[in-house]
Amino acid sequence: MAKKEEKKVIKKKSDYGAEAITVLEGLDPVRKRPGMYIGSTASSGLHHLIWEVVDNGFDEAMAGHADTVTITLQEDGMVRVEDNGRGIPVDKHKVTGVSALETVLTKLHAGGKFGGEGSGYKVSGGLHGVGVSVVNALSKHLKAEVHRDGKIWTQEYKIGKPKGKIKSAGTTKKTGTVITFLPDDSIFTETEFKWGTILDHLRRQAYLTKGVTVNIHDRRKEHSQKDYSFYFEGGVLSYIKNLNLNKTVKNPTIFYVEKEIENSKIEIALQYNDEYNETVLPFANNIPNPEGGTHLVGFRTALTRTLNSYARNQKLLKEKDENLAGEDVREGLTAIV
């Protein structure tokens, strides 16, 4: 008897498609413990809402589907984030039975990738961040507008709950997603967005995602109207160039390598200047790692080994000389890993 039951359970499990493995959870936990999802409910958490939505646009760009992300701080206090990616899918999601758009906006994606292997949808980057549903949960109002397959689709939400069904709102020649949201002032202790913070963050993201244009507009009441655009053709090369601006550089041609190894894309740029200190900025999936990590350790080891072997081959180091130490090869080094 017990055995039979066990068999049944196993059979049932294997009947599920891969997409069922993706854990889909409602948004209640986000409102209960916002700090768990966005770090804090103070200013940094507030800004995190913007980063979260913008990240999706950058993911689309990194996957080659978008080249522009536009952020507007609107007159009505809402934040508008537009990208020209593929647009969030709007077809019926196999697991939730509602549109993929509503699923993306109302479910926590504990599984990481949206939809899982079997669903046909895979969020390219999607590795970082907690997703746009968290922004929805912590917003008094949110409106999603999707341009996809020649049609415009919209849906509105209130503290993460749909106000109605997804609506078709005409035709379009574009593709992309517009998310407009108003942070919930009953959650956040600070609700004023800081222009400088937004510029700093987006400048760095633009450096890390070469070829993407980021437009930022301030249209808030009682603020001067401001417009800013970032576009760095060289990506991290431009970043190094900027870090070494006004410095005497030793190798005018910045060393640069981009390579895919075991499904991981690595990108390194470096240049020496005539100063003593080192500026090495490690990132993983465009997120800074100020404490370092295995990528930084690997980079340092490789740099020391490579320069030592070059110095030996070129007889710059004599046989009796000791190897260069790590700190020797990092003097005056500016690098992005």
Per-residue burial over 255-283, b if 16 or more Cβ lie within 10 Å, else e, is ebeeeeeeeeeebbbbbbbeeeebbbbbb
Which 176-205 residues touch ligand 0RA, going by CB under 6 A? 177
In this structure, what token pair is assigned to residue 271?
């240049």
* Interacting residue with ligand 0RA among 45, 57, 160, 282 (CB under 6 A): 57
Could you tell me where the beta strands, DSSP code E, fall in 253-332? 255-261, 264-272, 279-281, 283-284, 287-288
CA 336, CA 279: separation in Å to the nearest integer?
Answer: 8
Give yes or no for residue 52 binding ligand 0RA (CB under 6 A).
no
Closest CB 153 distance from ligand 0RA, rounded Å: 13
- Which lies closer to ligand 0RA via its Cβ, residue 145 or residue 184? 145
Give yes or no for residue 123 binding ligand 0RA (CB under 6 A).
yes
- Which lies closer to ligand 0RA via its Cβ, residue 95 or residue 269? 95
DSSP 124: S
- Which lies closer to ligand 0RA via its Cβ, residue 142 or residue 329? 142
Could you tell me where the beta strands, DSSP code E, fall in 45-134? 68-73, 79-83, 108-109
CA 211, CA 235: separation in Å to the nearest integer?
Answer: 7
Stretch that binds ligand 0RA, among 39-47, 71-79, 81-89, 157-165 (CB under 6 A): 81-89
* Interacting residue with ligand 0RA among 60, 145, 184, 218 (CB under 6 A): 60
Closest by CA position to 207, among listed 167, 235, 183: 235
Give yes or no for residue 88 binding ligand 0RA (CB under 6 A).
yes
Give yes or no for residue 104 binding ligand 0RA (CB under 6 A).
yes
130, 108 contact by CB (below 8 A): yes
CA 1, CA 180: separation in Å to the nearest integer?
Answer: 56
State which residue has the least CB distance to ligand 0RA.
Answer: 56
- Which lies closer to ligand 0RA via its Cβ, residue 106 or residue 244? 106
Query: By rule CB under 6 A, what count of residues binds ligand 0RA?
Result: 14
- Which lies closer to ligand 0RA via its Cβ, residue 87 or residue 235? 87
State the residues that interact with ligand 0RA by CB under 6 A: 56-57, 60, 83, 85-86, 88-89, 104, 114, 121, 123, 132, 177
